[in-house]
Amino acid sequence: MEGDVVPLGDNKIFFQTSKAAKDKELADYERWAFPYGEAQREKLQSLLLELFPKESVPSTLVPFLTWKELYEDALKKTQSLQRLIPGLLIVQKKYKRLLRKENMATYLAVAIADAEIDERCEYPSAEFIREQALEIDEIIKVSDNSENNQSNSLTGSKGSNLLKRIRELIGKG
């Protein structure tokens, strides 16, 4: 963390960060969250509000951005949804007040679509996201059961096909 350390007794636990450093950190986060700028933000917010009509923009963006970060971190380790989901289920338990398990599949479907868009910012329809969320939810249930039973009846093809369909829909397939 940039800034000056303000000592509190012998403990150096508080940091003062300059306004410029805070502004840079915010700009970096905005670039990560919305690499295609305001158009992407607006389309994403519209999609999230269509998927969660009883929610507000902040109450959908915060969990979405959290899932996006978790998904991107998990994706660095594996490209398979079957391998990704058990780890995400563990992490979800740590954030259970923020990341409700019943919405996990929908947010993951949006995060997957978000990872695949380009400068055109053409997100799939809410209906398509809901369909993909049902498939992800099936993988989640199997992952939950396999965690308890140590058996997994799904092959890796279901998650691979899901990613392939999203890429094709967005025009990257």
Q: Where are the domains of the chain?
A: 1-33, 35-170
Amino acid at 160: S
Give the per-residue pLDDT at 6. Answer: 44
Q: Provide the β-strand partners of residue 15.
A: 5
Q: Take residue 127 and report the two structure tokens written for it.
A: 């209906």
Give the per-residue pLDDT at 152. Answer: 39
Q: Give the Cα separation of 14 and 22 in Å (integer).
A: 15
Query: Is the per-residue pLDDT at 161 higher than 90?
Result: no
pLDDT tens-digit map of 110-157:
999 999 999 999 999 999 999 999 999 988 888 776 655 443 333 344
Alpha helices for the chain (secondary structure H): 19-33, 37-51, 57-75, 81-94, 104-116, 126-149, 157-170
- The better pLDDT of the pair 33, 170 is held by 33
Strand, coil or helix: 33: helix
134 and 56 Cβ atoms separated by less than 8 Å: no
pLDDT tens-digit map of 25-80:
999 999 999 999 999 999 999 999 999 999 999 999 999 999 999 999 888 887 77
Q: Tell me the HSE value of 115 on the side-chain side, using a 13 A CA sphere.
A: 23
